[in-house]
Amino acid sequence: MRNDINLAIVAMVAEPPHTANSSAEYCFVVEDNNNTAPLDYGGTLNWSGPVQSYVLASFYWAYIVSQIVGGLATQKLGTKRVFGYSQLATALSSLCIPIAAESHFGFVIALRFVQGFASGLTWPAMYALVGHWIPVPERSRFMSSFQGFSIGIGVTYPLCGFLIAHLGWRSVFYTTGSIGVAWCLIWYLLAFDSPETHPRISLREQKYIRENTVNTYENSRQQQVPWKSILTSKAAWSIGITTFGRIWVHYTFIISGPTYMKRILGFSIEKNGLLSGAPFICSYIASVFFCYIADKLVTGNYMSLTNVRKLMTALSQVVPGALVPLVSYLGCDIELVLVVWFIAVTMITASYAGAMANIVDIAPNFAGPVLAFAQTIHMTASFLSPLANFQMLDKQEHLMSAWRTVFYVSCLVACVTYVSYQMWGTGDIQPWNESVDDVDKKEVEELVKSKNDVEITNGLGSNSSSKENNSHTISRNDNIA
């Protein structure tokens, strides 16, 4: 639901009139009154480039704002309610977008803002769920499930292309919104906040999960979030900064990708949907592989947890960052462009065995709040990226040179931000992961233990003195006798 509009908008908006001097500006052209014009998807909405960027970016304005709210709400209300209600709000908003678009783009921006705020609540909720449900040795592998996001794009884009080609762009929002409402009903029936609250889990499984997770659901809800420690933590900042670069590159593919497929590669709407979405299916498969390899490297003691996280983060940022400018130099060699495109998108998912998994490593008790903090930083890239890209492409979307600038900026952002994680990233649990109450309890226990040791020592000393006095008394009595 968050990404359906990325493809739909290329069919919603009317094609602006322009004349190109050379058909070499893009790979597929149609002749129209002796002027070369890019492929027309039959859009009717007269939205300028800046308006389109606002429509696409508005989701992420609110998405950032709601991260901290999501972390706090999850601590107090639990994942089931926070995640479920947020998805319902997103689905209902999607159903309203077609009517809003016909009225005024401002209404679409408002609905996307609501969707963004609601969706922003979900990530802290999911990370809190990991802390309560997933045993530590299995976490890297489980993190691949977060790539359901990639499956969503991989399925949604081809579906949207098909729906637009046969039923029009409005059907996209009616379909995704209806599926979202149905999903919420299933979630309400099957989801539970923790093993302790699940009515059908076996005692054996519940015991296994409890023994292999660092925190419990009830304890985490009662703990006070150490915001000062989180805000001053180099480990937390390094995660937020480095993933800013990953998000920038990722959203260049997610949001700007369909436009590139249309304006430069000249694909029909159905092919656009298929080829824009297919790399994300590959990325999900790759994420399972990366998370499996990460687990093996750690459990087999081949690498430290810190080094594994840094390796996977480098693969997710430096490699795609280096590949994305290459796309602009391959011209209209479609097969080679798609190969590089697929590899770049696929490598991005290594982050789920890298910096993204690192959130639970450093603070399993406060995974939700830490994720909220990191997301607040790195998700700014989700709206800055499309805004910057549309600015660089304004009235030049058909020019390869303009796209080359976009790709070089993405490369620079991805590689520079990775440096922070290389410097400050760590796999160690941070001291502030333990609540003040836990620390106080430990201090009390240590004091009690020390006091008992002193009493025992004194007791032994007293007994020794008594025995010595008794022996002296006996000796004197013997002498008298």
Higher pLDDT, 138 or 413: 413
Amino acid 28: pLDDT: 57
Amino acid type, 93: S
Amino acid 18: pLDDT: 56
Amino acid 217: pLDDT: 46
Structure tokens at 296: 């093996």
User: Percent of the chain at pLDDT above 90?
Assistant: 41
* Pairwise CA distance, residues 411 & 342, whole Å: 16
Instruction: Assign 422 a pLDDT band (cuts: 50, 70, 90).
Output: very high
* Pairwise CA distance, residues 297 & 292, whole Å: 9
* Pairwise CA distance, residues 324 & 304, whole Å: 30
Higher pLDDT, 198 or 437: 198
Amino acid 62: pLDDT: 85
Amino acid 480: pLDDT: 38
Instruction: Assign 454 a pLDDT band (cuts: 50, 70, 90).
Output: very low
Check if the beta carbon of residue 348 is closer than 8 Å to that of residue 307: no
Mean pLDDT of 260-271: 88
Confidence check: pLDDT of 460 > 70: no
Of the ranges 139-148, 323-332, 378-387, which one carries the lowest mean pLDDT score?
139-148
Summarised one tens digit per residue, pLDDT across range 331-375 is: 788 889 999 999 999 999 899 899 988 998 999 888 878 888 898
Amino acid 144: pLDDT: 65
Q: Pairing between strand 35-37 and 30-32?
A: antiparallel
Confidence check: pLDDT of 479 > 70: no
Amino acid 287: pLDDT: 85
Amino acid 457: pLDDT: 46
Amino acid 451: pLDDT: 39
Check if the beta carbon of residue 383 is closer than 8 Å to that of residue 45: no
* Pairwise CA distance, residues 112 & 5, whole Å: 10
Mean pLDDT of 173-193: 93
Query: In 3D, which of 219, 2, 283, 286 has the Cα closest to residue 122?
Result: 2
Over the chain, what is the mean pLDDT? 82
Amino acid 321: pLDDT: 95
Instruction: Assign 25 a pLDDT band (cuts: 50, 70, 90).
Output: low
Amino acid 209: pLDDT: 81
Phi first, then psi: give them for residue 32, nearest 5 degrees: -140, 105
Confidence check: pLDDT of 34 > 60: no
SS3 state at 251 = helix
Mean pLDDT of 190-209: 85
* Pairwise CA distance, residues 278 & 156, whole Å: 10
Amino acid 220: pLDDT: 53
Instruction: Assign 459 a pLDDT band (cuts: 50, 70, 90).
Output: low
Instruction: Assign 474 a pLDDT band (cuts: 50, 70, 90).
Output: very low
Mean pLDDT of 128-151: 75
Amino acid 274: pLDDT: 92
Amino acid 149: pLDDT: 76
